[in-house]
């Protein structure tokens, strides 16, 4: 099914692009945490490949990162870029965030489609689509000793756009209308939702009548 949506070369190029922008975000966090060159490379690899590795292990196939050298090398390219040029990249952080949103939209769709292709139910496929999109970021934050952004109320919506994109894909599968156009629409919808969340600071609600005295993180 995935091969029917995009040609192998197009799919490969899109994957590498998504991996690159996710790796940039991991490498930037490593620099902010004052990690050495090895730490920068590790955080870039984990952020870029973590979600896909988890998905592939769950569906029972050899992860693409271990069968295609490009998947492994692309995060190292991003890490090298950040190692030498992080001040310049920091100055265009808003642009990096746009590409990160595009990667989120792409991976939630391709992850969901691939999971269904390997026999998972619609619900399980959507869950793995979400994991593909956000799993690397969760691992990145854990390794950097931070509360994952995914769980923090003071961060703009991140998982919700991915959930919407994955849900659109499984609905298209359910009604047998999944094609290049509808999958592209799901990617763009998740992408635009993420951009809107960043632009308007949309956040998920906290507990009703919350009266916790715990200190709030900035």
pLDDT digits (tens, 9 = 90+) for 71-98: 999 999 999 999 999 888 877 777 778 8
Q: Could you report the per-residue pLDDT of 11-25, keeping only the tens digit for each?
A: 788 788 889 989 998
What confidence category does residue 39 fall into, taking pLDDT thresholds of 50, 70 and 90?
Answer: very high
Residue at 206 is within a domain: no
Residue 2 scores a pLDDT above 70:
no
Residue at 214 is within a domain: no
Mean pLDDT of the chain: 88
Task: Count structural domains, the chain.
Answer: 1
Domain span at 12: 2-200
Mean pLDDT for 176-183 is 91
Residue at 113 is within a domain: yes
Residue at 211 is within a domain: no
Mean pLDDT for 125-130 is 96
Residue at 213 is within a domain: no
Measured between its terminal Cα atoms, the distance across the chain in Å is 44
Residue at 31 is within a domain: yes
Confidence (pLDDT) at 218 = 46
Token look-up 């635009």 returns: 192
pTM above 0.85, yes or no: yes
Residue at 45 is within a domain: yes
What does the DSSP assignment read for 176-190?
A: T--SHHHHHHHHHHH
Residue at 176 is within a domain: yes
Q: Could you report the per-residue pLDDT of 131-163, keeping only the tens digit for each?
A: 999 999 999 999 999 988 888 887 889 999 999
Nearest-CA neighbor of 61 among 140, 128, 143? 128
């Amino acid at each position: 099914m995935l091969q029917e949506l995009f040609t192998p070369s197009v799919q490969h190029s899109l994957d590498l692009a998504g991996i690159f922008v996710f790796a940039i975000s991991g490498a930037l966090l490593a620099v902010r945490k004052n990690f050495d060159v090895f730490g920068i490379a590790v955080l870039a690899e984990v952020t870029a490949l973590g979600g896909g590795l988890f998905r592939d292990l769950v569906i029972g196939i050899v992860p693409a990162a271990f069968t295609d050298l490009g998947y492994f090398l692309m995060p190292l390219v991003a890490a090298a870029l950040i190692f030498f040029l992080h001040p310049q990249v920091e100055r265009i952080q808003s642009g990096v965030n746009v590409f990160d949103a595009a990667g989120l939209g792409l991976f939630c769709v391709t992850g969901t489609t691939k999971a269904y292709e390997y026999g998972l139910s619609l619900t399980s496929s959507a869950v793995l689509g979400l994991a593909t999109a956000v799993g690397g970021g969760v691992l990145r934050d854990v390794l950097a000793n931070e509360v994952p952004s995914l769980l923090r109320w003071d961060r703009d919506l991140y998982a919700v756009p991915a959930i919407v994109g994955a849900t659109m894909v499984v609905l298209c599968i359910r009604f047998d209308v999944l094609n290049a156009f509808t999958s592209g629409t799901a990617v763009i919808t998740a992408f635009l939702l993420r951009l809107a969340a960043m632009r308007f600071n949309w956040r998920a609600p906290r507990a009703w009548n919350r009266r916790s005295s715990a200190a709030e993180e900035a």
